[in-house]
């Protein structure tokens, strides 16, 4: 009986050691992903209508009470109503002064 227990424990140990990664090897990480992104728009409904027409594989939806666009891979674009469109020209670049 003792021999059987010894061999069973030895077999379990060999199985565990055989399945372990070699030292220094890092297991592959999962591919990162995301659920949604936010887009500011002065007219979310018009923006969604534009995107659904331009990209027929998308569809209008809502998420968390926000108007949204659903893509075929279930990533959402959430639209936030803003008062003014973003500036079309960036400000001065780092390390430069205005007027130079």
Domain ranges of the chain: 34-84
- Region at 48 (left for phi over 0; alpha for psi -120 to 50; beta for the rest): alpha
Segment 16-32, tens digit of pLDDT: 555 555 566 777 888 77
Domain boundaries 34-84, corresponding CATH code: 3.30.720
Per-residue pLDDT of 68-88, as tens digits, reads 999 998 899 999 999 998 888
Longest dimension (CA), the chain: 91
In this prediction the pTM is 0.56
């Amino acid at each position: 009986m003792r021999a059987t227990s010894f061999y069973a424990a030895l077999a379990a140990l060999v199985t565990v050691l055989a399945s372990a990664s070699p030292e220094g090897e890092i297991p592959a990480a999962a591919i990162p992903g995301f659920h949604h992104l936010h887009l500011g728009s002065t007219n979310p409904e018009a923006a969604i209508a534009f995107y659904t027409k331009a990209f027929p594989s998308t569809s209008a939806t809502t998420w968390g009470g926000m108007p949204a666009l659903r893509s075929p891979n279930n990533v959402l674009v959430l639209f936030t109503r803003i008062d003014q469109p973003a500036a079309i020209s960036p400000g001065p670049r780092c390390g430069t002064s205005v007027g130079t």
